[in-house]
Amino acid sequence: MSIQRGLAADIGGTNTRLALVENGRVLEDTIARFRNADFETPEAAIGTYLSEAGRPVCASAVIAIAAPIDGPAIRMTNHPWTFSADCLGTVLGDARITFLNDFEALAYSLDNVPAERLQPVHQPEVKLRSNATRLVVGAGTGFNAAALFHTPAGLHVGTGECGHATLPVETEDELRLWTYLALNRGRASVERALSGSGLREIHEWYCLEQGLSPRDLSPAEIAERANSGSDPLCVAAARQWVTFLGRVIGDLSLVFLSLGGIVLTGGVTRSLAKFLTEPEFINAFCAKGRQQKLVSGIPVHLLDDDFAALAGCAARM
């Protein structure tokens, strides 16, 4: 059997994850992660990886990018990198290059995720329809979602730019927070809250509401203090963050009718996993009026695999 070798790349707003693929299978011992900030261009990051891997010859490369895939030149939303097949050809040679949205790659990975990598968040006692639509949603540097549809012609993924929809609020307190997040921006998008920088700004707002100067804490530090319960303002920020998350994915579940379940991913989502089991998240997720029963019957899991999108890239080779 001949070996078909390729490169899988998952390029987010902060990190780039890469792996070699043989005959559609990710070679796990070749997986590597690089910080985008350490490289001026994506070609430099990919070239470094290939050099360290012994300069393998790749027949194809599937590159998942945190950006809309539209046209020959792709510009990332939350990082200054741009992509084109011509520029990547300088390091990938004659490889056939395919671009995907990063959440498109995640969606294509869902049917191959090991069960042990999916942590239950909400498990209703409802029998799922076979081949029902599934949804993957994530918050890290930014926010997005994608739906995996089963069709007579095979799998199909629908993607969008969900993080740039307007953030939904329901209470007077949330409206004041929305106004704070919208300051000098015209409006507050979903991503202004549901991201690492969003968690930091929500925490800043809670400090200001208490008459305190905002503290210079990173999203990771806020999550750590919230998880330990040592800082009430960090706990409040975490609970508000997961409230927004529950409300938004509840809305998305109605948009896509994702009766096959929802898979949560993203570094910030995982950092606040403890709060996903608290009432704020589930109540916001299920609070959909006349469709509450429908949404309450949709299972939610947390994906504990930061490299799953690479398998989705491999599936598209």
Q: Are residues 55 and 148 in the same domain?
A: no
Report how far apart the first and last C-alpha atoms of the chain are (Å, whole number). Answer: 17
Per-residue pLDDT at 76 exceeds 90 = yes
Strands 118-122 and 300-303: antiparallel
Give the pLDDT of residue 127.
Answer: 74
The answer as to whether 61 is a domain residue is yes
Give the pLDDT of residue 1.
Answer: 61
Rounded CA gap, 83 and 43, in Å? 9
The answer as to whether 118 is a domain residue is no
The answer as to whether 247 is a domain residue is yes
The answer as to whether 281 is a domain residue is yes
Q: Are residues 160 and 288 in the same domain?
A: yes
Q: Which residue has the higher pLDDT, 11 or 130?
A: 11
Q: What is the DSSP string of 250-298?
A: HHHHHHHT-TT-EEEESHHHHHTHHHHTSHHHHHHHH--GGGHHHHHTS
Q: Are residues 83 and 169 in the same domain?
A: no
Q: Are residues 62 and 195 in the same domain?
A: no
pLDDT for 109-155, tens place per residue?
998 899 999 999 999 987 777 789 999 999 999 999 999 999 999 99
- Per DSSP, the three-state class of 215 is coil
Q: What is the CATH number of the domain that holds 170?
A: 3.40.367.20
Per-residue pLDDT at 72 exceeds 90 = no
How buried is residue 185: exposed, middle or buried, by Cβ count under 10 Å (0-12/13-18/19+)? exposed
CB of 192 within 8 A of CB of 241? no
Q: Are residues 250 and 279 in the same domain?
A: yes
pLDDT for 253-312, tens place per residue?
999 999 999 999 999 999 999 999 999 999 999 999 999 999 999 999 999 999 999 999
Give the pLDDT of residue 129.
Answer: 73
Residue-averaged pLDDT of the chain: 95
Per-residue pLDDT at 77 exceeds 90 = no
Q: Are residues 193 and 161 in the same domain?
A: yes
pLDDT for 160-196, tens place per residue?
999 999 999 999 999 999 999 999 999 999 999 999 9
Q: Are residues 142 and 53 in the same domain?
A: no
Q: What is the CATH number of the domain that holds 21?
A: 3.30.420.40
How buried is residue 211: exposed, middle or buried, by Cβ count under 10 Å (0-12/13-18/19+)? exposed
Q: Are residues 94 and 143 in the same domain?
A: no
**In total, how many domains does the chain have?**
2
Two tokens, residue 3? 């070996």
DSSP structural state of residue 153: T
Q: Are residues 134 and 83 in the same domain?
A: no
Residues 6 or more apart in contact with residue 87 via CB below 8 angstroms = 41, 43
- Per DSSP, the three-state class of 249 is helix
Give the pLDDT of residue 3.
Answer: 79
Q: Are residues 182 and 286 in the same domain?
A: yes
Q: Which domain covers residue 291, as residue numbers?
A: 124-298
Give the type of residue at 81. Answer: W
Helix axis angle for 196-209 and 232-256, nearest 10°, is 130
The answer as to whether 51 is a domain residue is yes
pLDDT > 90: what percent of the chain?
A: 94
Q: Are residues 210 and 141 in the same domain?
A: yes
Q: Are residues 166 and 285 in the same domain?
A: yes
Rounded CA gap, 84 and 116, in Å? 37
Report the range of poorest mean pLDDT among 42-56, 122-136, 188-202, 238-252.
122-136
- Per DSSP, the three-state class of 308 is helix
The answer as to whether 141 is a domain residue is yes
